[in-house]
């Protein structure tokens, strides 16, 4: 049996490989060398660096071009509801589930491809807040002098 640290290291290695491979698999499903139109990819901001990093290699390998655009989760919802059409949408699960419920994406095509972690930081020299329970976290946020978070009305999902 491997130690906890070794298993964590192995799990992280596997996760990095999956994250690197899955966008290729998703995009390859829709790409065809015979297609003159670029494959259109709409991605949530958190995944933008991954999509941009893989784009040129994907285009060279598949002999297909990509049209990539990015936005917040809220922006993706607004754009899809306004009638924009995309071949691939990469967004948080809640956004994809809402789009599926509204008939804007195929629910059976939704696949998890990555997880995004959100962190907490305090000013240098400040005491570290207790956040090991939901109640402690709530108290820390409500008691903070100047909390900073994304406004969900602006379309960011991490501020919800």
Using the predicted structure, report yes or no on whether residue 33 has a pLDDT greater than 80: no
Q: How far apart are CA 74 and CA 153, in angstroms?
A: 8
Residue 160: its pLDDT value, please? 46
52 neighbors 68 (Cβ within 8 angstroms): yes
- Write out the H or E segment, with its range, that includes residue 90: strand 88-90
pLDDT tops 70 at residue 29: no
The gap from C-alpha 72 to its chain's centroid, in whole angstroms, comes to 10
Residue 61: count other Cβ atoms within 10 Å of its Cβ: 13
Domains of the chain (ranges, CATH numbers):
4-109 (3.40.190.10), 118-160 (no CATH)
- Predicted confidence at residue 102, as pLDDT, reads 97
Check whether 14 has a pLDDT greater than 60: no
Q: How many secondary structure helices (H) and strands (E) does the chain include?
A: 5, 3
pLDDT in tens, 125-156: 988 889 999 999 899 888 888 877 777 666 66
Q: What is the pLDDT of residues 36-78, one digit of tens each?
A: 688 899 998 878 888 888 888 888 888 888 999 998 888 999 9
pLDDT of residue 118: 74
Tell me what pLDDT residue 20 has.
Answer: 59
Q: Give the pLDDT score at 158.
A: 58
β-pairing, 66-71 with 88-90? unpaired
What is the band of 105 on the pLDDT scale with cuts at 50, 70, 90? Answer: very high
């Amino acid at each position: 049996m491997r130690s906890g640290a070794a298993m964590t290291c192995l799990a992280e290695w596997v996760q990095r490989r999956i994250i690197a491979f899955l966008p290729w698999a998703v995009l390859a499903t829709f790409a065809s060398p015979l297609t003159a139109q670029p494959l259109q990819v709409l991605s949530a901001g958190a995944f933008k660096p991954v999509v941009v990093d893989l784009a040129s290699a994907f285009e060279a390998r598949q002999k297909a071009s990509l049209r990539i655009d990015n936005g917040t989760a809220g922006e993706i919802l607004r754009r899809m509801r306004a009638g924009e059409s995309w071949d691939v949408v990469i967004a948080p699960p809640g956004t994809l589930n809402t789009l599926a419920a509204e008939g804007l994406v195929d629910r059976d095509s939704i696949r998890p491809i990555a997880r995004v972690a959100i962190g907490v930081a305090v000013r240098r020299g400040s005491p570290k807040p207790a956040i090991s329970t939901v109640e402690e976290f709530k108290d820390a946020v409500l008691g903070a002098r100047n909390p900073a978070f994304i406004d969900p009305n602006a379309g960011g999902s991490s501020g919800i």
